[in-house]
Each structure stands twice: as C-alpha cells, then as structure tokens.
Amino acid sequence: MQTLKNHCQLVLMTVLVFALWRTPVVLPLKILIVFFHEIAHGLAAVFTGGQIESINLQANQGGLTMTRGGSPVVITSAGYLGSLLIGVVLFVGAVRSRFDRAMMAALGILLLGITLLYTRETYGVVFGAIAGAVMVLSAWKLPELVNDLALRVIGLASMIYVPYDIVSDTLLRADRQSDAYHLAQLTFGSGKMWGGIWLVVSLLVIAACLRFGLGRGSNFTPRPKP
C-alpha cells in the first residue's frame, strides 16, 4: 500500500494516458514518439559510420528516415528500441534529477536542429519546429514543476507506445513491410519473429526502468531529488 502511495502520480498518469489514447489529445505525443523512432534510425546510421539524408513525418503517425552507409541491421533495429530508450531516459531523468529545464531545452534544441537539417516535407517541418520551439520556451519560461511533469508524460507515453506499435505493426499485421519485415530480409527468420523479440526486449526494458529507475518514490516534490 505504501509503495502505491509513493508512486500514485505515476499510476494516475498511466491511467490518463490510456484513457485518452484514442483521442486527439494524445495525438501530438504519438507523432512526437514517431519522430523519436525516426531520429533513432538516423542516429544508428551516424553511430555506425553512415549519415542521415532525410527524416520525414506524416500526420497518420507514419515516418521515413533515409540514410546512407552504416550498418543496415543496426539501423533497422534502432527505431522501436531507440525511441523506447529515449522515453526511458526522459522519464527517469525527470524523476531522479534536478535538471528538468535543462533536459527540456536540450530536447527542444535537438528537435529544432534535426528539423532544420534533415526534414524536407511540410508536415514534418511544421511539427518539428513547433514541438522544438514549445520545448525551448517551456524550459526558458516555465517552472521546474511544469517541465518535470511534461518530461514524465513524454517519457511514459513513449514507453507505452513502443510495445503497442510493435504489436500493431509486426505481429497483428505481419504482412506489412515494417522494420521487422526488413530486418528479416537482411538477416533470417520472419518479421513476426523479430517483432516478438523486440516486444520481449521492450517489456524487459520497461520493467527494469520501473524496478530500478524510480527509487522508493516517484511522486514530484519541489525539494531536491536524490
């Protein structure tokens, strides 16, 4: 009972995100997480010796990253798991650190930079510019509490969205040319197999985050965090 009390805000946020999941209220969060997904593909290319050519977003929660060089296997695998790790870092960072405004500013600058350098089509440019600008303004003008809660919601939504998206794209619609389908073409097995592997890994990462990343309590407090 005490454990539940110490994490009651997390429980409440999770309930609210699920309750609003199919409403327009959560749509910007979903598009943002798709952006994280595409950014993860691009960063995987850069980290394995390649480069990003373009990153595009679509209003229907779709996206496409074009890269050159790098490791195709790592790049293809990075979308779901990379966006999940971004969500975990944002959430745990908000809970366990006192640098919420700095984290929000860094995230906003990252989105603005990637939008400026790599996004070509109108929707992605508008979304990336607005999202990045709102984050920078939030970090500059709004108090720690607002930035802390915003980072928690973004991180939590990313952790929820990734397993959901894996199931939807790779297990329920196995014939779709998803990341898992392309990884199977590059390596072995089937899209369903890789989707199942990614699902298990994502759930383990989320479990580890909840088990080891939250500490004894995750409720927001204006006092210094550990």
Mean pLDDT of the chain: 89
152 belongs to a structural domain: yes
Domain residue limits at 205: 28-64+73-212
93 belongs to a structural domain: yes
Strands (E), 39-184: 51-57, 63-68
80 belongs to a structural domain: yes
Would you write out the chain's pLDDT as a tens digit for each of its 226 residues?
556 667 787 888 888 888 888 889 899 999 999 999 999 999 999 999 999 999 999 998 889 999 999 999 999 999 999 999 999 999 999 988 889 999 999 999 999 999 999 998 999 999 999 999 999 999 999 999 999 999 999 999 999 999 988 998 888 875 667 899 899 999 999 999 999 999 999 999 999 998 887 777 677 765 454 4
13 belongs to a structural domain: no
198 near 170, Cβ under 8 Å?
yes
Provide the pLDDT for residue 4: 60
67 near 75, Cβ under 8 Å?
yes
226 belongs to a structural domain: no
Provide the pLDDT for residue 174: 59
d(CA 76, CA 168): 17
5 belongs to a structural domain: no
220 belongs to a structural domain: no
Provide the pLDDT for residue 226: 46
Q: How is residue 98 annotated by DSSP?
A: S
Q: How many domains, in total, are found in the chain?
A: 1
166 belongs to a structural domain: yes
In DSSP notation, 197-218 reads HHHHHHHHHHHHHHHHSSTT--
